[in-house]
Amino acid sequence: MKLTLTTALFTLAAGTALAQTTVQSCDREVTFDAPPQAAISHDINLTEMMLVLGLTDHMVGYTGISGWNKLDAEMRAGVDQLPELAAEYPSKEVLIGADADFYFAGWNYGMRVGGELTPETLAPFGIQVYELTESCIHISEKGAASMDDMYNDLRNLGAIFDVEDRAEALITNYQIDLAAFLASQPALPAAPRVFVYDSGEDAPFTAGRYAMPNALIEAAGGVNIMNDFEKSWATVGWEAVVERNPEIIVIVNYGEVTAEQKRDFMMSNPAFANLDAVRNDRFVVLDYVEATPGPRNVQAVKTLAAAFRAD
């Protein structure tokens, strides 16, 4: 989805000019009279977008990280002065109690359709919401996930917080860096078949065409075996995985079940013994923060591209 941005000037009664910014957030246009001063981000990847844009001075906290993920040293330093207001999903009272004026979240990233926290339920309390682009598929039509989803979120956050130049510089650097890396990689004889294993033993939770790993895999030169699955993150049957016979399995690392345990489950299960990925022990691990939309998507593509070309 291409997000649009318009900026206009209007004059206050006192005669002071103030920049008014409107951004497209899923199927809504959201207008900001001034940069938010009490922002809250949900989830580790969305919070890192705020950090790389240098927006901690505009934040009163974050939510939804320690319940599932561990911060590395870089992120711990970035949020050192900010409280985690909820380890998992925040309540409306948490946001109101923090005097928040802005909530950066997504559908199934801190908000649920028909749930307690939505743009509509928060608006009466003066809390504006910007929705993660990847998640828009839950409420409106959009194309398959792409790296542009992440770039557009950075671009729109830059507009909302009046740091457009910083956002554009970041995006340009990411694009140049990634293009140079991919250009240095040898050509693949064929796009490897890749399966994303997030979690689940009875039935796997995986990435369909609307989830970010689909974009990461394609950018790295592979093909997601579930790229015709008209879902974002969802559950499929193991039968479909066996039938499509992935050559490489990407494990998403987070939560109580470790990446090594997920690999051991697949390696030791007789039902998977004939999968090319299992026979050749070709597994790649991406941390949750790399596999979901955010700045670390660039490194994720590099990791996948190198793994696809490894002997």
- Same domain for 58 and 150, yes or no, is yes
- Same domain for 224 and 262, yes or no, is yes
- Same domain for 108 and 24, yes or no, is yes
- Same domain for 89 and 220, yes or no, is no
- Same domain for 18 and 165, yes or no, is yes
Kindly tell me if the per-residue pLDDT of 294 is higher than 90. yes
pLDDT band at 1 (very low <50, low <70, confident <90, very high): very low
pLDDT of residue 311: 72
- Same domain for 66 and 115, yes or no, is yes
pLDDT of residue 290: 97
Residue where a domain terminates, one of 150, 176, 202: 176
Residue 289 lies in a domain: yes
Residue 94 lies in a domain: yes
Q: For 18-72, give the secondary structure using H, E and C.
A: EEEEEEEECCEEEEECCCCCCEEEECHHHHHHHHHCCCHHHEEEEECCCCCCCCC
Residue 89 lies in a domain: yes
Residue 52 lies in a domain: yes
- Same domain for 169 and 303, yes or no, is no
CATH of the domain at 16: 3.40.50.1980
Q: Is 64 exposed, middle or buried (0-12, 13-18, 19+ CB in 10 A)?
A: buried
What residue ranges in the chain does DSSP mark as E strands? 5-11, 17-25, 28-32, 39-42, 59-63, 84-86, 102-107, 110-111, 128-131, 193-197, 205-207, 223-224, 233-235, 248-253, 283-287
Enclosing domain of residue 271: 193-308
Residue 137 lies in a domain: yes
Residue 47 lies in a domain: yes
Q: How far apart are CA 36 and CA 49, in angstroms?
A: 15
Q: pLDDT tens digits, residue range 179-219?
A: 999 999 999 999 999 999 999 999 999 999 999 999 999 99
Q: What percent of the chain has pLDDT over 90?
A: 89
Residue 183 lies in a domain: no
Residue where a domain terminates, one of 176, 203, 231: 176
- Same domain for 54 and 110, yes or no, is yes
Residue where a domain terminates, one of 149, 176, 203: 176
Kindly tell me if the per-residue pLDDT of 15 is higher than 50. no
- Same domain for 214 and 259, yes or no, is yes
Domain count of the fold of the chain? 2
- Same domain for 79 and 156, yes or no, is yes
- Same domain for 82 and 230, yes or no, is no
- Same domain for 222 and 197, yes or no, is yes
Residue 165 lies in a domain: yes
